[in-house]
Every structure is written in C-alpha cells, then in structure tokens.
Amino acid sequence: MEVRLLSPSAMLLQYGSAARRLSGLDVSKARVGIAKTVTTNWRREKKARVARSSSASDGVSKRSAETLLRVDPRPRNRRRIVVLGAPRVGKTAVLRRFLRDDFDEQYVPTSEDFHSKVYRIRGETYQVDILDASKERDFPAKRRLSILTGDIFLLVFSVDDRESFDEVRALRKEIQVAKSKLGGWKENSRVPVVFCANKVDLGEKSRAVEPSEICRGLGRDAAVFETSARDGTRLDEMFEALADLGGLPAETRPSLHRDVSIRSYEAQHGRRRSRREAACGAVFPLARRPSFGSDLRRVLGPGPSKRSAPMERCQIQ
C-alpha cells in the first residue's frame, strides 16, 4: 500500500474541507490562520518523528513493519483510545505505564501524540491505537475530529488541580454531543469513558478536589479511578475498565501479558497461533498518526462515487 505525503498547500485545503464538514460553515480567516499553524507544526513534528523512529525501530524495516500493521490485526480487533485532559496532569506518565509499564520522573512536554501496541492473545491478534489529543486544546475543529474517531476515551485530571477537573467535565459533555450528532449515538447514551484522577501519591494536604466532589461532579455510575502514575496505584484496575468498555481482552492490561520487542513479535507473526500460548504485546515504534483525510473517512465513510448522489453537509457543530 503506497503512502502519499501531502504538500503543505494540499494539506491546508484538506484541513479546510474537514473544518467545513465538521462545522457546516465556511472557513473564516481565523480558521485559515489556524490551518496554516497546524500545517507548519505538522511539518516540524514530521521531521522529528522520522529521526526518532530511525533509532527506535528495533531492527524492523519500514516495509515489513507497515505490512505487519496493515495485515495484522483484523479491523474488528482494533480500537482507538483518545486521551484528553489539561496540561501537566500526568497523561504521558499514565500512557507510559500502559505501553511499557514504567515511569519517568522527569517531566517532558508531550511530543508524540500517537502510539500503537499490538498483541497476540489466545490465538487472536489485537491492536490498540492511542491518540493523545492534549495538543488540540486550542483547535476545536481538529479536537472534534479526534473525538469522533475514538472508540474509548480516557479523561485525565489531577486531584491537586481543580481546573483540570472542571475541564474533564466539559470534555465529557463535548464527547457526548459530538457522538450524538454523528449518528448512531443518543446524547444521553453511555459513551465509553474512563476518568483518571491522577497524582493521589501527593497526599491529602495537596488535594484540591475531594472524592465526594468527584462523585457529585461525574455521577455515581461514572468509571472513576484515583491513580498514581508514579507508584502504579489502581492503574491496573483502570486499564481493565478501558479493556472492558472497549470490548478488548483483559490481557491487554500490562500485568497480564509479556512485553516483547517488535522484532520478536514479527518473528512470531508467521507461526501457527495457539490459544494456549502466553499473551504478549509489542509497542510499534513506527506508528504514525493518520492524516486528516484518513480520519475524516473513518468518521464519514468513503466518499461518494461519481454516479452517486452528492454527500450531504455534515451538521456537526
């Protein structure tokens, strides 16, 4: 499968088209400015990611790795988790626990926003894509598109930051409204959302949001877990809830599978699968965030053929 890189001008046109479909309105001068900013940042991040991937590929060729993800796993065994929340609440640390089950004391602002991990569990292959949409806080149309592509949502806030708690409450409402306008979802239906109240290791003196407030603000039926990415408190339970809501096996939890390199995973790819084989997972080092066009097709479906009726304007506000 050949992958074409878009020129900045083509990407700008594509982003403008996406914004029109998502909002039902013409692109204003302000949105054109936003699109130019997104395009510039995309080009910078692309160069940085190419450099990172060359050192992290673990000996897997680009062609064989792309083949691995394209063929394996089956679409029905693939889920996308969209992660949202305020800055500095520990989203990257939580994701690091999920992907590699470790922790880094040093704070580094998020640079990679898309991750993939592939699993072999009871003779079946699964893939979990994780989109960290935290950098889209100032780009409503882009954030809305990311929300619409999500199968499961992880909303992270810090117990020592009240504003971050208020933000995840607003994000849940935004997710519900966006999904209901897409079709197939009712606004009051249960969207698969897990709340992560992080940094409980800081102690009671540092708390700005009490458990009773969290319960009142999110509802008694919400899946809320008070966690610590530093010491691993309740993270395994939270990952189990993500798997359950997303229809994934429990073995996607870090504690229930063996982490292997992508090279080892690829070596096992051609072997006959056994349901008794121990579950294993591998972080995919060459993962790339899909283009705006790919995400738009994921949301709206394939474009109309030449003989079909024109596509109606999407009324997502």
What's the CATH number where 193 sits?
A: 3.40.50.300
Do the domain assignments include residue 315?
no
Under 8 Å between Cβ of 121 and 161: no
The phi and psi torsions of 153 (rounded to 5 degrees) equal -125, 135
- Please tell me whether residues 244 and 214 are part of one structural domain: yes
Please give the average per-residue pLDDT across 204-226, as a whole number.
94
- Please tell me whether residues 243 and 144 are part of one structural domain: yes
> Which residue range is the domain that position 40 belongs to?
7-56
**Residue 91: C-alpha distances to residues 182, 228, 284, 293 (Å):** 27, 11, 19, 26
- Please tell me whether residues 217 and 166 are part of one structural domain: yes
pLDDT at position 159: 97
Name beta bridge partners: 249: none
Which residues contact residue 192 at a Cβ distance below 8 angstroms, ignoring those fewer than 6 apart? 151, 152, 153, 245, 246
Least-confidence region, from 61-75, 84-98, 139-153, 173-187:
61-75
pLDDT at position 47: 55
Do the domain assignments include residue 86?
yes
- Please tell me whether residues 36 and 159 are part of one structural domain: no
- Please tell me whether residues 83 and 117 are part of one structural domain: yes
Do the domain assignments include residue 161?
yes
Please give the average per-residue pLDDT across 267-271, as a whole number.
70
Write out pLDDT tens, residues 17-52.
655 555 544 444 544 554 555 555 555 555 555 444
Q: How many domains does the chain have?
A: 2
- Please tell me whether residues 45 and 83 are part of one structural domain: no
Do the domain assignments include residue 177?
yes
Under 8 Å between Cβ of 289 and 133: no
- Please tell me whether residues 276 and 205 are part of one structural domain: yes
Write out pLDDT tens, residues 150-179.
999 999 999 999 999 999 999 999 999 998
Write out pLDDT tens, residues 95-135.
999 998 888 777 666 656 899 999 999 989 999 999 998 88
- Please tell me whether residues 256 and 115 are part of one structural domain: yes
Please give the average per-residue pLDDT across 84-98, as a whole number.
93
Write out pLDDT tens, residues 300-309.
776 555 444 4
- Please tell me whether residues 43 and 120 are part of one structural domain: no
Under 8 Å between Cβ of 118 and 70: no
Q: Is the per-residue pLDDT at 246 higher than 70?
A: yes
- Please tell me whether residues 39 and 139 are part of one structural domain: no
- Please tell me whether residues 48 and 67 are part of one structural domain: no
- Please tell me whether residues 18 and 143 are part of one structural domain: no
Q: How far apart are CA 1 and CA 316, in angstroms?
A: 32
Q: Which of 34, 56, 78 is the last residue of a domain?
A: 56
Do the domain assignments include residue 120?
yes
Q: From start to end of the chain, where are the E strands?
A: 78-85, 114-121, 124-132, 152-158, 193-198, 223-226, 258-259, 280-283
